[in-house]
Structure 1
Amino acid sequence: MAMPGKHYKCPVHPDSLGKRTHHGADGTAVQNFSCSIYNAGFMNCTWVKGRAAPDDVQYFMYIKNKRTLLEMECPCYLQESGIHTGCHLSNLSLLSVKSYVLVNGSSPAMGIQFFDSIFLTKGIEKLDPPANVTVHCNVSHCHVRWHQPRTWHRFTHQDFQYQLDIQRQNIDPGNLNPLINISGNSENKYHFPSPEPRHKHTVQIRVADTRRPQWSAWSRPVEFGSEDMTATILHLHLLLVALGTLICALMLLLLLKRFVGTCDLFPTIPQVRDKVSDNHQQTVWEDFVRGPGKGEDEEVLTVEEVSNPFGGHV
């Protein structure tokens, strides 16, 4: 897998290990040489032309296994302006824990110095981000899990260290949560309190070798929580209102039932009639109806005085 945007030249027949040329002007050898293993199966080596090297210089890279003594020329060169400035390897079977690399040079104009180095392949591997990052939440907590990255070398859990970046979205700048450091012995999991309702969050994880503080790229962000907290809070408010209404209705029903029961146990006691304020209708003289034989003129009874034969008046 070649690096994007780079042009490689791949020789058809690799040559034997090139001759090391000790003679040559200072500053003609390659500079800033470095190699890295990536994607658990590819290696790139890069360099720049020596500051004193002529424009017609050409470089060639050779690799030798220190254990088997097998050697090969770079199968695919990276070129800039026709000059080899890098090497890409898609087959790392020749590499061992310790590998020897030689970059020789040639020029019609002058002799070119060589560059050689012995490197530990485990120390140049760039780790991929952790894979299969998942988040599962319950009412009160969230649990993050992941898989350790694929590596070309054999790594144990103790060889890894992780960093988690858990952030809530749509918060004010400057209020970011700090990174969380996790040991490789954590069984690739982390849980933290996060009660419902929870805002929308993202989590990303990166990894590094415990012997080298060179972090991998961040994993893809994984989202969890609710994006529209307003709707969630509204639903919760409506739920609380409905629950409160139900509780009030039950309390009123219990009070009414208790009141009805009290009335059945203690019926109303009849009251003594008050003769004074009795509701009997009193006769009013003005409303008295005249009888049918009575006229407007009243009859006058005349009483006459009669003499008593025994003396006196009756």
Structure 2
Amino acid sequence: MDAKHYILFFCVMWHYCYLHEACEASEAHEECSKVLSNEQVKPIHLSVTVRERYLILSWDCDFPPEIQSKTEYEIYLKQDDEQYKYKIGTRKCNTVITLETLSTVCLKVTPAINNKEFQRLSSEKCVNLERNGTSAENVSCRVYNTSSMTCTWMFGKNAPDSTSYRLSLRQGSTNVLCQHYEIRFQTRTGACTFDDLRLDFFDDVTIVLQGSDPGIEVFEEKNRLAHIEIFNPPRDISVNSSEDSLKIYWKSPQRQYSVNDNCFTYNIQKNKDQYYPKTQSNLYTIPNVEKECSVRIRASGIEACEMNTHWGEWSEWIPCDSMPRVGKSAGVGKSEWQFELTPVILVSGLILVLLIITTMQYKRIVKTCFPRIPEPKNYLESTEDSKINIENNGYFSLMLPTSETEECIIILKENFP
């Protein structure tokens, strides 16, 4: 192949690549022009939140799905009098930047489509990160009894002694103000309790502490209630003991949201021994039980369910009730021997009731069962009108009073021989 053929081949390849690139550029330009005409990729409502040495940036995005995969935002940062420096790129509408020093910081967010930046659509914001030491410090919040939350804090080191803070919770469009404050000016500490939290436990909640003086810095912190919940003890704990084992039953802690029972782990303490059941069921068996022991249980959440992984409150101590039994009755549970004694107790009670009734109604019962026999009427009573004639011949007669019919009864008795 001579030089002419090389030149011709080079020209053909150059022409093909140029047309292909131009075609792609034209298609991209059409897509970009549609989006840029409405400035849909421009970051709006740029928000900056400070968390110690972290800057949390977020902004609103409004572009069609077909351009989303080709859009990237370039983040530039400058501190004090420095020039803007490239910091990070992201395809999301939020990011986090770590700072080395806290001072005045300016941020610029620039959209880029197909790696081409559009500076005229940039958004800038400057914030002063220098703290004056007046915002609340050591803020700690915990959820108790499924719906009650208590937050505690310390006054800022440079806050006046008369400073008071107002606590509120923000979740979406819901804003809840705390009502029950407890302020200790001597120790420069404060606390407040929410009695009834009707918020989503698995959605972000912003905890806000504002000072009474406009010069007091505002404290803000995002968290989820499920991450700070202190669990109640497990419910309906029962212990079934025998000579060689101890079976413990329970139900998961009470809560106001729906979650699988497998989201909990448990810690069982028997006397001084600790047990951590691996099973998913709410039943655990401990072998070789002592004659005298007590048991208590507490629960914690697991990270996979986005719940608090710290241990909750202990239940009350429950006696094992491991009583030795002899012969055939060995191993019989407490409920079983109570069932066996029930007929004996009922019969004994019935006999006692009958004895009491018999004692109270003794005379009536005797009179009814053994009636009194009446005495016969005496017709031989003597009166003054009676006359007894005893004759020498050995006969005597007894004159009785006549009845109303004036009948006479004469009794004759012969002489004895």
TM-score, length-scaled by structure 1: 0.55
Structure 1 residues 205 and 219, CA gap change in structure 2 (3 angstroms): same
Aligned position for 1:42: 148
AA in 2 matched with 1:189:
L
- In 1, Cα distance between equivalents of 2:200 and 2:151: 13
Please state which structure has a larger fraction of its residues in helix: 2
* One of 61, 69, 80 as aligned partner of 2:184: 80
Corresponding residue of 1:3? none
1:180 is matched by which residue type in structure 2? Answer: Y
Q: Please tell me the residue identity of whatever aligns with 2:212.
A: S
Q: Matches of residues 161-176 of structure 1 in structure 2 within 5 Å?
A: 161-167=265-271, 176=272
1:25 Cα deviation after fit = 6.0
AA matched with 1:106: S
Provide the residue aligned with 1:183 in structure 2.
278
Say what the alpha-carbon RMSD is for the aligned residues: 2.9
- Cα distance, 1:76 vs. partner? 1.9
Instruction: Kindly provide the CA deviation profile for residues 170-228 of structure 1, in whole angstroms up to 9, marking residues without a partner as x.
Output: xxxxxx43x1111361x210113347xx511111111111224411122111112457x
Q: Identify the match of residue 31 of structure 1 among 137, 157, 160.
A: 137
CA contact (8 A) 1:23 1:113 kept: no
Contact 1:24 1:112 (8 Å CA) reproduced: no
CA contact (8 A) 1:25 1:111 kept: no
Contact conserved, 2:293 with 2:319, CA < 8 A, in 1? yes
For 2:264, the equivalent position in structure 1 comes to: 160
Task: State the distance in 1 between where 2:177 and 2:287 align.
Answer: 56
SS in 2 for 1:62: strand
Bigger shift: residues 94-103 or 124-133: 94-103
TM-score, normalised to structure 2, is 0.42
Counterpart-to-counterpart distance in 2, 1:136 and 1:149: 20
Question: Could you say which residue in structure 2 is the equivalent of 1:13?
Answer: none
The 3-state SS of whatever aligns with 2:255 is coil
Shift of 1:141: 2.9
The structure with the largest strand share of the pair is: 2
Q: Does 1:121 align with 2:225?
A: yes
Corresponding residue number in structure 2 for 1:193: 287
Unaligned runs of 5+ in 2: 1-127, 328-417
> Please, which of 237, 245, 250 is the counterpart of residue 141 of structure 1?
245
Please say if 1:93 is aligned against 2:194: no
Task: Give the Cα–Cα distance (whole angstroms) in 2 for the partners of residues 23 and 112 of structure 1.
Answer: 14
SS of the aligned residue for 1:71 comes to: strand
- Distance in 2 separating the partners of 1:224 and 1:39: 27
Partner residue of 1:216? 312
Of 270, 274, 297 in structure 2, the residue corresponding to residue 205 of structure 1 is 297
Q: Using the TM superposition, give the Cα deviation of residue 136 of structure 1 relative to its aligned residue in structure 2, in angstroms.
A: 1.0
Which structure has more relative contact order (CA 8 Å, sep 6+)? It is 1
Q: Take 2:233 and 2:174, find their aligned partners in 1: how far apart are those partners?
A: 33
Q: 1:199 to 1:222 in 2, by over 3 A?
A: same
Q: How much has 1:101 moved relative to structure 2?
A: 2.0
CA distance in 2, matches of 1:134, 1:219: 12
Q: Which amino acid aligns with 1:216?
A: G
**Residues 250-285 of structure 1, C-alpha deviations (whole Å, 9 max, x = no match):** xxxxxxxxxxxxxxxxxxxxxxxxxxxxxxxxxxxx
Q: How many Å apart are 1:94 and its aligned residue?
A: 4.2
Cα pair distance change 1:200/1:127, threshold 3 Å: same
Secondary structure at the aligned position of 1:183 is classed as coil
State the one-letter code of the partner of 1:156.
Answer: N
1:262-277 map, 5 Å: none
Offset of 1:146 from its aligned partner?
0.7
Contact 2:269/2:275 (<8 A) preserved? yes
Task: For residues 105-124 of structure 1, give each alpha carbon's deviation from its aligned partner in whole angstroms, at most 9, with x where no partner exists.
Answer: 133xx711111111111101
CA contact (8 A) 2:165 2:210 kept: yes
Which residue does the alignment assign to 1:286?
Answer: none
Give the drift of 1:75. 2.1
1:102 Cα shift? Answer: 1.3
Paired with 1:95 and 1:50, the residues of 2 have a C-alpha distance of 30
* Separation in structure 2 between the aligned mates of residue 84 and residue 73 of structure 1, nearest angstrom: 19
Between the aligned partners of 2:179 and 2:197, the Cα distance in structure 1 is 11
Q: Secondary structure at the match of 2:276?
A: strand
User: What residue identity is the alignment partner of 2:299?
Assistant: V
2-structure distance, mates of 1:213, 1:72? 26
CA distance in 2, matches of 1:166, 1:84: 39
Deviations along 1:30-68, one digit per CA (max 9) or x if unpaired, are 0011211111111111111001111121211122122xx
The higher radius of gyration belongs to 1
